[in-house]
Amino acid sequence: MLSEMLSATVLGVDGVPVQVEADVAFGLPSLTIVGLAGSAVQEARERVRSAIRNCGFEVPARRITVNLAPADLPKEGTSYDLAIAAAILGASGQLGLKPTRRCALIGELALDGSLRPAPGTLALAAAARSAEVSEVVVPQASVREAASVRDISVRGAVTLGDVVAHLVGRRELPAAEATPIPAWNAPSGVPDLADVIGQPLARRALEIAIAGRHSLALSGPPGIGKTLILRCGEGLLPPLEEREAVEVSRIHSVAGLIDRREPVIRTRPFRAPHHTISMQALVGGIPGPTWGSEPRASRRSPARRDAPVPRGRVGCAAAAPRVGNRDHRARRGRAHPSRAVHAPGGLQPVPVRLARFAPS
Ligand SMILES: Nc1ncnc2c1ncn2[C@@H]1O[C@H](COP(=O)(O)OP(=O)(O)O)[C@@H](O)[C@H]1O
Ligand SMILES: [Mg+2]
C-alpha cells in the first residue's frame, strides 16, 4: 500500500516542499529511506520506529520503502521525521480508510513519540504555503515561529499520537494565532554620535553610508575613534520593515539562532567580526545551512573592525559581487541566498618595510 505526506526541506535560506512517499510491500522486514537522504535523515529510521511503537501503533514487519521527492535534491536534518512516521502509518493502513487531511508535517520525533522543534521551521512553514496546502502541523514549541508565516493555518502538536488523531479527524489540533510583528526598541548600550568629539568628516560619512546603504572604510592611526564612530552606526540603523523582518527572522531560524518565544526580529542585525575571520566564518560554510556573520547580518550590517590589511578574498567576500547592494552567491551550485548587506570597516594603514634577504 502506498501513502504520501508533505514536508519541506531547507535549501540555502529558503524552504522547498518535499513529498514523503511510503510503500509497504511483501518481503523481508526492512525500512529504507531513499532520495538523497543525508545521515540525519537515515537515522530517522530508528527514531521513527521507536516513536511509532511508543505511541501505540506498530511498524509493519514488511519491506518499507520511503522516498523523499524531488529525489535529486539533497536532504539534511530531522524535520522529516514526523512526515515519514505518518506516511508509514498511512501505508500500513493505520490511519483508517478515511481520506487524510491535506496538511504539511514538520518536526523531529523523540523516541517516546513526542515532537521536538527542528531548525528552520519558519522557512519550512513558508515552503508549505508555497505548496498551496492550507495547514501545517509543527511541534508545539515551534508554533509561534511557524505562525509568523501568513496565509497558512498553523497547528501545534505535542506527540505523534496528536498528529494521527488530527489527520484522521478524531481530534482536531487548535489553530495558532498569527504571531504579531513586535514593536521596535532602539538597541541599548550603543554609543551615540553626539558623544564623538570632532571628526565631522567621519561622522558625516557614516550618516551618508547608513542612509544610502553604502559600505564605508575609515582609515587612520590607532586610537583616533574609528571603532567608536562605526559602533555609533548601529544606533542609526532604522527598524526592519515587516517584509524585511520576516526575511531576517527566516535566516536566523535556518541558522538555529531564533528565540522561539519572540521569533520575529525587528532590530537590524549588526555584526562586528574580528579582522582575522576566515572566509567561511564571514560568508557562511559551503555545505548545509552553516551561516557566517554576513548572512546572519542580512539587511545590514556587519561592521568589519580594524582590518589592518585588506584581507584579499575575505575583504572581497564582504563587499564584492553585489548588484544594487544585493548579493547572490551559489552554494552547492543550487542555493542562491540573496541579501542586502553593507559593510562599514576601519583600516589602519601600516608602514610596510621590505626586508632584504641576502644569501649568506
Ligand atoms: N573623537 C573622539 N571622541 C570621543 N572619544 C574618542 C574619540 N576618538 C577616540 N576616542 C576614545 O578613544 C578610545 C579609542 O578609540 P577607538 O575608536 O577604539 O580608536 P580606533 O578604532 O581608531 O583605534 C575609545 O575609548 C574612544 O572612546
Ligand atoms: Mg579600532
Q: How far is the CA of 224 from the centre of ligand 1 (A)?
A: 5
Q: Which ligand is nearest to the CA of 229?
A: 1
Per-residue cell: 299:
539587511
Q: What is the pLDDT of residue 338?
A: 44
| Max Cα-Cα span within the chain | 90
- Angstrom distance (rounded) from CA 7 to CA 24: 19
227: alpha, beta or left? (left if phi > 0; alpha if psi -120 to 50):
alpha
Name which residue sits closest to atom 8 of ligand 1, judged by CA: 225
- Angstrom distance (rounded) from CA 319 to CA 335: 20
Q: How far is the CA of 345 from the centre of ligand 2 (A)?
A: 9
Structure letter (DSSP) for residue 277: -
From first CA to last CA, the distance across the chain in angstroms is 82
Phi, psi of 64, deg, nearest 5: -105, 125
Number of the ligand 1 atom closest to the C-alpha atom of 199: 1
CATH 3.40.50.300 is the classification of domain 193-347: yes
Q: How far is the CA of 106 from the centre of ligand 1 (A)?
A: 50
Q: What is the pLDDT of residue 329?
A: 45
Give residue ranges with CB within 6 A of ligand 1: 196-199, 220, 222-228, 346
Q: What is the pLDDT of residue 340?
A: 56
- 105 within 8 A of 125, measured Cβ to Cβ: no
Q: What is the pLDDT of residue 351?
A: 57
Q: How far is the CA of 271 from the centre of ligand 2 (A)?
A: 15
Q: Is 261 exposed, middle or buried, given 0-12, 13-18 or 19+ CB atoms closer than 10 A?
A: exposed
H or E element, residue 92? none
- Full pLDDT tens readout for the chain, 360 residues: 899 999 999 887 888 999 999 999 999 999 999 999 999 899 999 999 999 999 999 999 999 999 999 998 989 889 999 999 999 999 999 987 666 678 999 999 999 999 999 889 999 999 999 888 899 999 999 999 999 998 999 999 999 999 999 999 899 999 999 999 888 888 888 899 999 999 999 999 999 988 888 888 888 888 999 889 988 988 888 888 888 888 889 888 988 888 888 899 888 888 777 778 777 777 665 444 444 555 455 454 444 443 434 445 555 555 443 333 344 444 443 434 445 566 667 666 655 544 444 444
Q: Which ligand is nearest to the CA of 230?
A: 1
Q: Can you list the positions of beta strands (E) in 110-233?
A: 115-116, 135-139, 153-157, 216-219
Q: What is the pLDDT of residue 187?
A: 83
Please give the CATH architecture assigned to the domain spanning 2-167.
2-Layer Sandwich (3.30)
Going from N- to C-terminal start, the domains of the chain cover: 2-167, 193-347
Q: What is the pLDDT of residue 314?
A: 55
Q: pTM to 2 decimals?
A: 0.77
Candidate of 201, 224, 226 to mutate for ligand 1, largest count of ligand atoms within 8 Å of Cβ: 224
H or E element, residue 84? helix 81-91
